[in-house]
Amino acid sequence: MPRILVSRIRSRLVSVARPVQQCRYVLDSLRCMSTSPNSGTEPPTVSDSPQPAKLNTPASRIHSNSHLARRMKELGITVGDLQREHVRREQLKNRTSGYYALSLLIGTLALSYAAVPFYRLLCQKAGYAGTPIAESATITADRLIPVDSNRKITVRFESDVSRSLPWKFEPLQRQVTVTPGETALAFFKATNLSNQDIIGVATYNVTPDQIAPYFSKIQCFCFEQQQLRAGEQVDMPIFFFIDPDFDTDPQMKHIHEVVLNYTFFKAKTNASGQYLTVPDAAGNEIAGQIPITVSSPGA
Amino acid sequence: MSFGGASGNTKVFRPTPPDRGSFPLDHDGECKIQMQIYLDCLRSSRSRDRVPADCRLLAKEYLNCRMERGLMLKDNWVNLGLPDDKRSSSTDTPESKS
């Protein structure tokens, strides 16, 4: 460490010896020590504008007849003072840069937390990455006008029943061909094969996934508990349509077939008849109370 | 289904509830006849490309049957995307999401 100080002093003294007018200030209270072209031979003249300077040197390394030592003696400043001052300034500098770094870190953290709701908001407004834009709840009549093009989509129906549900559940038509914007009615039939009243809940799935934002159901039998008495058979309709914007979406150009799959689960009860588990939107049976609310945009 | 799928542009499928909620079950089979007529029409027109207009009228009959028996909330046909009929006197009750 002392070697570095000495080299610093030397470099400063060398720079002091340059013919350019330079001010070397020693602490705030000292005045400027300017240099003349022959600074090596004669003491420097002192100008009157005080500015701070940094000088670090152990006392033993200063020549007693150097102009620096003389000046310091004049003002009653010891080398220790200079060193402390230097250390203080360094600390202040470090602290300032530390504060800058800390504020940058906190700013970045805050931005990253704020990005999540901001991104969600942006997606909802702009429909980016497949988020459906039309978040308003009701399907208005102007969406139910069939498009003029020859676009036809075949909707096939499939049905599934959970293993714990002793029902027979099947679609009553294999497929329906629709145009985007045209509403269609389709039926499923469910038969309770057991000798008890059972409550079931249905959920659905649409393949391919890309059509999901465009596939709208006006009314169906899903997500609500449906009770079938023992041995009862019931027809369950669904009334749906494919949004007319599907026709103009270039990503949907290659889609001509859609598979609509309904799955029935059993709503579980405990000993006193209270319903315990209901399927969530993904088809997993979760603990919940009736009625089911599926988290969906606009719900 | 979406396991291992590409990140970024893929959308996770979330089934949405129907716009008007659930159909009450037709336990007594009150509209079964209309349903059968509609399904027969669908089967007979399977070779054609679209759901023919007359089958859609039969669908309208079925929904009308439901509305009359309280199995469906009444609404204007235009809100259901079905051709309006001349004697459209159903009460205008716009649905809200259930």
Q: What is the pLDDT of residue B59?
A: 86
Residues of A in contact with B44 (CB under 8 A): none
Q: Higher model confidence: residue A44 or residue B69? A: B69
| Contact assignment for A141 to B18 by CB distance below 8 Å | no
Q: What is the pLDDT of residue A110?
A: 96
Task: State how far residue B39 is from chain A, nearest Cα, in angstroms.
Answer: 7
Q: Determine phi and psi for A55, rounding to 5 degrees.
A: -140, 130
- A298 touching B, CB under 8 A? yes
- Does the pLDDT value for residue A54 go beyond 70? no
pLDDT tens digits, A260-299 = 989 888 886 655 556 555 555 555 554 444 444 343 443 3
Q: What is the pLDDT of residue A298?
A: 39
- Cα angle A40, A43, A44 (rounded to 5 degrees) comes to 95
pLDDT tens digits, A118-175 = 888 887 776 555 544 444 445 677 777 777 777 888 899 999 998 888 899 999 988 8
| Contact assignment for A218 to B42 by CB distance below 8 Å | no
- Does the pLDDT value for residue A52 go beyond 50? no
Q: What is the pLDDT of residue A92?
A: 94
- Which residue of A lies nearest to B60 if distances are taken between CA atoms? A185
Distance (Å, whole) CA A93 – CA A58: 22
Average pLDDT for residues B15-37, to the nearest whole number? 79
- Does the pLDDT value for residue A99 go beyond 90? yes
Q: What is the pLDDT of residue A65?
A: 62
Task: State how far residue A209 is from chain B, nearest Cα, in angstroms.
Answer: 6
- Which residue of B lies nearest to A235 if distances are taken between CA atoms? B26
Q: What is the pLDDT of residue B43?
A: 83
Q: Higher model confidence: residue B89 or residue A131? A: A131
Q: What is the pLDDT of residue A6?
A: 67
Most B CBs within 10 A among A119, A173, A239, A241, hence the mutation to make, goes to A239
Q: What is the pLDDT of residue A113?
A: 94
Q: What is the pLDDT of residue B79?
A: 75
- A196 touching B, CB under 8 A? no
- Cα angle A149, A150, A156 (rounded to 5 degrees) comes to 120
- Which residue of A lies nearest to B39 if distances are taken between CA atoms? A173
Q: What is the pLDDT of residue A115?
A: 93
- Does the pLDDT value for residue B4 go beyond 80? no
How many residue pairs from chains A and B have C-beta atoms closer than 8 A? 147
Global pTM reads 0.53
Q: Higher model confidence: residue A33 or residue A120? A: A120
Q: Higher model confidence: residue A113 or residue A209? A: A113
Q: Which of these, A29, A49, A25, A45, lies nearest to A37 by C-alpha position?
A: A45
User: Which span out of A57-66, B52-61, B74-83 was modeled with the highest average pLDDT?
Assistant: B52-61
Task: State how far residue A104 is from chain B, nearest Cα, in angstroms.
Answer: 28
Most B CBs within 10 A among A218, A228, A242, A258, hence the mutation to make, goes to A218
- Does the pLDDT value for residue A184 go beyond 50? yes
Q: Are B18 and A218 in contact (CB under 8 A)?
A: yes
| Average pLDDT value over all residues in chain A | 74
Q: What is the pLDDT of residue A171?
A: 92
- Does the pLDDT value for residue A111 go beyond 70? yes
- A16 touching B, CB under 8 A? no
| Contact assignment for A182 to B81 by CB distance below 8 Å | yes
Residues of B in contact with A145 (CB under 8 A): 81
Q: What is the pLDDT of residue A88?
A: 93
| Contact assignment for A219 to B27 by CB distance below 8 Å | no
Residues in Cβ contact with A150 at an 8 Å cutoff, skipping those fewer than 6 apart: none
**How would you class A201 by CB atoms within 10 Å of its CB: exposed for 0-12, middle for 13-18, buried for 19 or more?**
buried
Task: State how far residue B63 is from chain A, nearest Cα, in angstroms.
Answer: 9
**Structure-block tokens of residue A10:** 């030397």
Average pLDDT for residues A66-91, to the nearest whole number? 86
User: Which span out of A187-191, A209-213, A217-221, A226-230 was modeled with the highest average pLDDT?
Assistant: A187-191
